[in-house]
Structure formats: C-alpha cells, structure tokens
Amino acid sequence: MKRTKIAAIDVGSTKVCAIMADMNGTGDLRILGAGIAASDGSEKGVVVSARHDAAPISRAVSKAEKMAGYRLKSAYVIVSDTDMSSLNSRGIISIPRKDQSVRTADRKRAIEIAQNVELSGDRRLLHIIPRSYTLDGQENIKDPVGMCGFRLHVETHIVTMAAISVQNLTKCMESLGVGINGLVLASLASGEAVLTEEEKQGGVVLADIGASTTDIAVFRDGSVYHTSTLPLGGHHVTNDIVVGLGLPFALAEEMKKKYGNVMPSEERGNGDVAVTENGHNASYHDLYEIIDARVQELFRLILLQVPQTDYAKAIPAGLVLTGGTCNLPGIAELGREVTQLPVRIGIPLNPGGGNDTLCDPACATSVGLLYLKMKNEGLIGQWTEKRGLRVLLSRYLGYFGSRQQASQQLMKGDRKWQKQVTYPARLGLRLLAWAEPAVTQSLEWFGSKYRAWNSLP
C-alpha cells in the first residue's frame, strides 16, 4: 500500500522539534526522522526575529532529514500565541431539495455560515472546527451527510490569531525553503497525543505547559469547547528563582531541573539542606517554596479558563498536563491538591518507529500533530500558505549551499554571496519576484470560481 509522507515542526521558546514520518490508509504511522534543537528566538510562542529563529529550525530540520534520508519540502507547523482568541459559533441552513438528503456541499455551506464572524484586519482565521450537528431537532450528530431533513444546524469552535504572527512565521519558514501545509494550534495537537476518547467525551482540560506559555484546551462531548493561552510557563518559575535567590538565569534554570520539585514535604525528605552549584549556595527549602508558589498560581489560573465554575461537573475527567515543565517532580500531586480534581501527566504513547526521544511530554505537540493529520479530521488546513514561487525560489537557492547559509544570505541581500550564485539563479529571482503577484491573483480567481461552482446543488 502506498505511504504518504508527512512532517511536523514545533517552534517553541526553548526548542524546535521537527518530525518526518509516513502513513498509509489504515492508520499505520511510522517515524522516519526526528530532530530537536535548542532555541531562544521566539518569545511567548511567537517568532520575534525571523533571521535569528531560522537557525534552530534549520538545525532541527537537518537532523530529521539525515535520519529520514530525504529532503523536507513542506510541513505542518504548530503555533502558540498569547494573542489568540476563540469563540463558539452556529450556522443554520435549509435543505430545499425534494429528497431533503444532506450532501457534502450542504455541510460545507453550514460551516461557512458559522464562519461569518467579524474579524478585524489584524486577525487571521486559524481553525473552524465543527463540534456537532443538529438535523430537524435531532442533536449530537457527528456527520449529517446522507441523512434526510429540512433544517441543518452546526456548532463550531473558531480560533483566530494575530496576522503578524502568521506572517513572521511564514517568512521564517520560506527563508529555509520549507513550505507550510497548514498551521495548527498547539493545545489541539497536544490533546490528540495524550487524551483518550473517554476523557474528551466526559469533559477534560488539557494544559500544555511550555517555557513561556501554557496552552489550554477544554474538551466536552468528544470535541473541543474552549481554547486559550496563558502567558505563563517554566521560564517564569526560573525568573522567580533568579529574583528570590539572586542567581544568574542559566544557573537558576539548571538548579530548577536538577533540584527542583513540588512534592509534599513528607516525600521530599531533604529538610533545609543547602545545595551548591558553580560556587552558589541555596537552601533546598527556599528553592521548593519559590517553585511551589508559582506552580500553585498556575493551576489556579488554568481553572479560571474553564467556562463553568462547577469544575467537578464540567470536567469530571480532571486535568491532563503535558509539555516540558511537567517533568517537574510532584507537579501532578500538587495539581490534585490545589484543584481537588483528578490530575495526570500526559505522555505521547506509541509514536510509530519506536523513537524513545519522542516519548516525552515536551514532544507531545509534534507527535499529536501527526496523529491529527492521520485522522484527517479537517482540523488541519483551515489556513494554508499561499506558497509556490517564494518557497521554490529559496529552496532552489538552498541547493547552492547549506539551508542555513541560503536563508541568511537571502534575507540579508548579501551582494558578495549573490555573485557566487549562477546567473540563471539571479535571473530567476527577478523573474519570480515580478511574476508572483499576477500569478497568485490569477490562481485565487480561478479557485474562487471553482469553489462557487462546486457548492451548487
């Protein structure tokens, strides 16, 4: 059976994770290559310097390419933005045909009606996710196609984010010659990797605690109900240690990972022992108190994101934690104490290929994105890159040197480097830059005409 190649890239605040895989029609997923590189180019989940952030992306992609044995042309990219917003919207249509049979075009038309929400010019639609359908009063229908009825309702969850964040990320990927197949919200991808169908159906909160942000998704009745992003993560714990103990940031981060925990006092068993690292002394008890206070605050803020205040009824499955900060010992126990709800650590299970590196909460987002694509839910691809000429150009120039060199020199406009490139490459650059607006506009026009024709009954 033919296998389809797919790839996922997660650009985080402290690391970039790139995974290359393939799958077949039966749901068999194989990890072909994976690369992880340290990063400090993004802030609160957003690319702030395309040139600076291109370096760790290039390193991660190169590692994955070497393991997989082929060059990465395009990938699905994960986004996490504190400026994201979400809302639930409803679309209602009538089925005027005599047979009153719901067709695929009718389902699409209902979703488009729900999508008609006012967005300011600085916002970009990221996802429109159908939650459930109602046909002539019959509720909780997952797919109405083939059923008969007159009035079709659809409940959707809509996610938007800042347009500038999308543009910066797109420019960064284009400079490396990697096309963007689609953008996916981090919490949705993580949920696919670590949540069970029973948890989604009963009601659960997914909290992906990263370095700079905590991505939250509330699931109920089998689908996402609410999404948000808190500007709080593991780095804020480290900053508290820096201020409280007077340590350099790098040393505070090292001590947090080596000695930090939030386990109950009877299980810690270290008393007021002093710890020493690189000539700096700190009380183990003080380190615990600082971390414990910040993590408790984080749990309370997570609960405030749940739309209902009766948490035991709204989310009986409790809270599932994932992300790199969840490796802090005792965090699940502290979560149960603060929230009075079931709390567990979500670890991505059985990433095809047996790569132990990916069996870590820090990699849940990348692995989950592959699972989303494999299920083909229509969640991915609400936003797709208007790619082609720019990506082909930077990919073409990349063959004249390393991927990183091509991206750096292309963005700098280095004349000395351009002289080393053949004349056809420079001529292609000018021709493509001139032709791109006209070609893009023509393709968009033909696409709109085709979609209008395809939606006719």
Gap between the Cα atoms of 426 and 405, Å rounded: 16
Is 341 found in the same domain as 393?
Answer: no
Q: What's the number of domains the chain is made of?
A: 3
Q: For residue 139, what are the domain limits?
A: 85-161
Residue 33 lies in a domain: no
Q: Tens of pLDDT along 229-288?
A: 999 999 999 999 999 988 889 899 988 988 888 886 655 555 566 666 667 778 888 889
Q: Is residue 219 part of a domain?
A: no
* Strand pairing report for 74-79 and 179-185: parallel
Predicted local distance difference test score (pLDDT) of residue 453 = 56
**Judgement on whether residues 317 and 425 belong to the same structural domain of the protein:** no
Domain end position, chosen among 113, 142, 161 = 161
Tell me, what's the pLDDT at 398? 46
402, two tokens: 């390393």
What per-residue confidence (pLDDT) applies to 297?
A: 96
Strand partners, 220: 223
Q: Which of 290, 291, 319 is nearest to 304 (CA)?
A: 319
Instruction: Report whether 211 contacts 230 (CB < 8 A).
Output: no
Strands 42-43 and 223-230: unpaired
pLDDT of residue 383: 46
Nearest residue to 65 (alpha-carbon basis) of 31, 37, 35, 38: 35
> Binning pLDDT at 50, 70 and 90, where does residue 323 land?
very high
Q: What stretches of 261-366 adopt beta strand conformation (E)?
A: 274-277, 280-283, 319-322, 343-345
In our burial notation (b when 16+ CB lie closer than 10 A, e otherwise), range 265-297 reads: eeebeeeeeeeeeeeeebebeebbebbbebbee
Report pLDDT for 401. 46
Q: Domain for residue 437, yes or no?
A: yes
Per-residue confidence (pLDDT) for residue 209, from 0 to 100:
95
Q: Strands 74-79, 123-135: parallel, antiparallel or unpaired by DSSP?
A: unpaired
pLDDT at 456: 47
**166-218 residue pLDDT tens:** 888 888 888 888 888 989 999 999 999 999 999 999 999 999 999 999 999 99
In a domain, 49, yes or no: no
What is the C-alpha separation between 356 and 365, in angstroms, rounded?
15
For the domain that residue 91 is a member of, what is the CATH number? Answer: 3.30.1490.110
Kindly state whether residues 398 and 332 are assigned to the same domain. no
Extract the tokens encoding 99: 């047979």
Say if residue 111's pLDDT is above 60: yes
pLDDT band at 293 (very low <50, low <70, confident <90, very high): very high
Whether 61 is in a domain gets the answer: no
* 119 confidence band (pLDDT: 50, 70, 90): confident
Q: How far is the C-alpha of 162 from the C-alpha of 82, rounded, in Å? A: 9
Q: What is the pLDDT of residue 384?
A: 45
The Cα–Cα gap between 39 and 324 comes to 14
Look up the pTM and report it.
Answer: 0.80
Give me the helices (H) in 96-148, please: 104-114
Q: Are residues 412 and 336 in the same domain?
A: no
Residue 369 falls inside a structural domain: no
How confident is the model at residue 381, as a pLDDT? 43
The pLDDT score that the predictor gives to residue 387 is 47
Q: Cα angle at 158 between 188 and 453, to 5 degrees?
A: 115
Q: How far is Cα 191 from Cα 168, in angstroms, rounded to an integer?
A: 26
Instruction: Give the residue-averaged pLDDT of 392-403.
Output: 48
If asked whether residues 309 and 397 sit together in one domain, one would say no
Average pLDDT over residues 378-384: 46
Q: Mean pLDDT over residues 153-165, rounded? A: 91
Residue 257 counted as domain residue: yes
pLDDT in tens, 33-73: 999 998 875 565 566 666 677 889 999 999 999 999 999 99
Residues written for the chain: 457
Q: What is the pLDDT of residue 290?
A: 94
Contact assessment for residue 169 and residue 79, using Cβ atoms and an 8 Å cutoff: yes
Domain boundary among 144, 161, 178: 161
Percent pLDDT > 70 in the chain is 74
Place of tokens 């739309």: 307
pLDDT tens digits, residue range 336-371? 999 999 999 999 876 666 567 788 898 899 999 988
> Domain containing 236 — which CATH number?
3.30.420.40
The answer as to whether 138 is a domain residue is yes
Residues 314 and 394 in one domain: no
pLDDT at residue 39, rounded to an integer: 82
Single residue among 161, 191, 218 that ends a domain in this structure: 161
- Amino acid code (one letter) for 192: E
